Amino acid sequence: MQTLAARLRAGLVALDLNLSDAQVDSLLAYQALIGKWNKVYNLTAVRDPDDMLTHHLLDSLAVIPTLRRQLALLAPSPRVEPVRLLDVGSGAGLPGVVIAICCPDIRVDCVDTVGKKAAFIQQAAVTLKLPNLRGV
């Protein structure tokens, strides 16, 4: 049986997505944080770690290559202002937190009407040391 890290890395290969070891570690730490908070708050119905990997992380990671290509087409030269992305109805921060981990040059604001979910995203930003992430 493969570990979650090995399955995540295999998924990254399938998505043709190159991430640093630190980013992979952050993604796994984020998944663990969701699992921890899910015990007290109902952030997501998906609770099995294997299912969280496929339904949360890999599904969210699927947007990264296209997002990176679009950003390169929009502004091939260095930007003065950071690109901002708004994830509305973010829930547990999907895909916003994943985007913040994979694209540190994008400022991600995750909005949710449920205060505990916005608080979770703020905690994820602090725990994962993501200055480009904010929960609202």
Question: What pLDDT is stored for residue 45 in this prediction?
Answer: 76
Three-class secondary structure of residue 60 per DSSP = helix
Q: Which of 60, 41, 40, 57 is nearest to 49 (CA)?
A: 57
Comparing CA positions, the residue from 120, 3, 101, 18 lying closest to residue 50 is 3
The SS3 of residue 9 is helix
pLDDT at 40: 87
3-state SS class at 99 = helix
Per-residue pLDDT of the chain (136 residues; tens, 9 = 90+): 679 999 999 999 999 999 999 999 999 999 999 999 998 888 887 888 888 898 899 999 999 999 999 888 776 666 677 899 999 999 999 999 999 999 999 999 999 999 999 999 999 999 999 999 999 9
- Nearest alpha-carbon partner for 113 in 94, 84, 91: 91
| pLDDT in the model for residue 1 | 62
Q: Kindly provide the residue ranges of all beta strands, DSSP E only, lying in 1-136, ordered along the sequence.
A: 83-88, 106-111, 133-135
DSSP SS3 for 108: strand
pLDDT of residue 77: 66
Write out the CATH class of domain 4-75+82-135: alpha beta
Nearest Cα residue to 71 out of 87, 88, 83, 60: 83
Domain boundaries, the chain: 4-75+82-135
pLDDT at 94: 95
